[in-house]
């Protein structure tokens, strides 16, 4: 049986592969699994449901709420808010679980369902597997009468709670910093500008008019060129680009140069070390982070832990080691002191905090790390599971690693969602990276 959950919840084409009946069954199963040890006669279990602005979110959130209520769970719908806001509110309201209806940076026709357990934490594989099994074993009938859960359609203080939470994480005023914010016509369209303004920044917003159909449409973190252009036009100090559910943040400096997630982590790690806030002097990142980040951290006396690709694995390592900072090149940055998951708005605030505290521009701060040229080739294959153990691939990789020495890196891995094999090469020179990647990709393609 094909696994329903992917690397970040359940995702698919809304009303095609991700339907309202599926969402209803999934909601019922999740309610059953995630509240089985938290039921009592004194208090009915509760769930928080939020969504991004895409049109299918209205349908799926309603179905999810119906499924949960049918299993005796009270549901509080908090409306359009970022994913990290839903994670925070799950904990802040003392709910037993939280649900975010969003497909993140995907185009509008897609949607997804992400779950949080009590405390606002993402689910481990074992719980996701249990929910999938529960979907197949659901009893046809749930409770009746007073056993049915209530659905509260609006939480008037939800946005305010989240904004207060963000404000409490700041210790400096951002007065004098002008920022352009691209909210991707997504979940952060209202809260991100408010948070930045409350911290003292002068805010120019673009793509902040969601209409249910325009989320991520030629804007946001997957179209960083929009904020690059706007920063120069408005003479801003920096620009910030979020994705549809605002758990990501990418930046550009005053000249329009991109500052990616690796560079943001480098800036924050150095600052946190100076302030004695970087626990165990360690940064957690994935294997896809640029080698330049590793070299920069070595120079700054900061250790690095690397995980598999996916923010959930970063979160697991942060929790396991008690570390204070981690993230991905894509702009997922996690600061466990303030958030249980990646929070793009929080990241933007703390990036500007570093500018305010040092008096340095974003360009100057980003110079702590030199980004090495990186080439990624996706090779279509018939059996991606057989590639890594192939003798020809092993030989080609070993030869290339000898050629690159300490100045480069090779990463080979199968795609988690497609019949593709990914060949990633970093080198001090772009042309060398391109040649080495092409040579290995040719060997992979011939397997």
Q: Strand ranges (DSSP E) for 137-281?
A: 151-152, 178-182, 202-206, 238-241, 250-253, 258-259
**Which residues does the annotation mark as catalytic?**
104
What are the CA-CA distances from residue 423 to residues 239, 287, 414, 420 (Å)?
A: 31, 13, 9, 10
The fold of 374-446 is TATA-Binding Protein (3.30.310)
Q: What is the pLDDT of residue 41?
A: 60
Give the chain's largest Cα–Cα span.
72
> From the first residue on, what is the mean pLDDT of each consecutive set of 10 residues in the chain (447 residues)?
80 96 97 83 88 98 97 96 98 97 95 96 93 89 92 93 98 97 98 98 98 97 97 98 97 98 98 97 95 95 93 92 96 96 97 98 97 92 87 94 89 81 92 94 92
277 annotated ligand binder:
no
pLDDT value, residue 141: 81
User: What Cα–Cα distance (Å) separates residue 214 from each residue in 201, 207, 228, 239, 241?
Assistant: 27, 9, 20, 21, 16
pLDDT of residue 6: 84
From the list 289, 230, 237, 301, the residue with the least C-alpha distance to 264 is: 289
Task: Tally Cβ neighbours within 10 Å of residue 145.
Answer: 5
pLDDT at position 7, please?
76
On the question of a common fold for 169-366 and 374-446, the answer reads no
Report the CATH number of the 169-366 domain: 3.40.120.10
pLDDT at 140: 77
Q: Is 104 annotated for ligand binding?
A: yes
- The whole-model pTM stands at 0.92
CATH of domain 10-155: 3.40.120.10
The predicted pLDDT at position 40 comes to 62
Is there a binding annotation on residue 243?
yes
Question: Taking the domains of the chain in order of start, what are their residue ranges?
Answer: 10-155, 169-366, 374-446
């Amino acid at each position: 049986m094909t696994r329903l959950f992917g690397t970040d919840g359940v995702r698919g084409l809304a009303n095609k592969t991700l339907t309202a009946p599926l969402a209803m069954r999934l909601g019922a199963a999740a309610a059953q699994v995630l509240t089985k040890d938290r039921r009592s006669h004194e208090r009915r279990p509760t769930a928080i449901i939020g969504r991004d602005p895409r049109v299918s979110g209205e349908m799926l959130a309603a179905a999810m709420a119906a499924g949960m209520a049918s299993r005796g769970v009270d549901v509080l719908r908090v409306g359009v808010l970022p994913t990290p806001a839903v994670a925070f509110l799950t904990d802040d309201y003392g709910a037993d679980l939280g649900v975010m209806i969003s497909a993140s940076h995907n185009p509008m026709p897609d949607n997804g369902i992400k779950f949080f357990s009590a405390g606002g934490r993402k689910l481990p594989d074992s719980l996701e597997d249990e929910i999938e099994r529960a979907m197949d074993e659901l009893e046809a009938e749930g409770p009746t009468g007073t056993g049915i859960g209530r659905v509260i359609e609006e939480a008037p203080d939800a946005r305010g709670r989240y904004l207060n939470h963000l404000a409490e994480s700041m210790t400096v005023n951002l007065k004098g910093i002008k920022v352009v914010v691209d909210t991707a016509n997504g979940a952060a369209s209202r809260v991100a500008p408010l948070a930045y303004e409350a911290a003292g920044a002068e805010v120019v917003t673009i793509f902040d008019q969601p209409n249910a159909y325009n989320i991520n449409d030629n804007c946001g973190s997957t179209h960083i060129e929009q904020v690059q252009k706007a920063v120069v036009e408005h003479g801003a100090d920096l620009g910030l680009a979020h994705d549809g559910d605002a758990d990501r943040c990418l930046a550009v400096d005053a000249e329009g140069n991109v500052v990616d997630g690796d560079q943001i982590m480098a800036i924050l790690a150095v600052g946190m070390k100076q302030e004695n806030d970087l626990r165990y002097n360690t940064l957690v990142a994935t294997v896809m982070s640029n080698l330049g980040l590793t070299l920069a951290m070595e120079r700054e006396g900061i250790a690095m832990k690397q995980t598999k690709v996916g923010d959930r694995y970063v979160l697991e390592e942060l929790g396991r080691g008690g570390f204070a900072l981690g993230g991905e090149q894509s702009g997922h940055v996690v600061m466990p002191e303030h958030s249980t998951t990646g929070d793009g708005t929080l990241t933007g605030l703390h990036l500007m905090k570093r500018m305010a505290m040092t008096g340095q521009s974003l360009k100057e701060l980003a110079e702590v790390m030199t980004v090495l040229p990186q080439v990624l080739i996706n090779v279509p294959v018939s059996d991606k599971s057989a590639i890594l153990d192939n003798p020809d691939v092993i030989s080609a990789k070993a030869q290339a690693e000898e050629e690159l020495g300490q100045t480069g890196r090779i990463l080979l891995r199968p795609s988690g969602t497609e019949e593709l094999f990914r060949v990633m090469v970093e080198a001090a020179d772009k042309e060398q990276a391109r040649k080495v990647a092409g040579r290995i990709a040719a060997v992979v393609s011939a397997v």
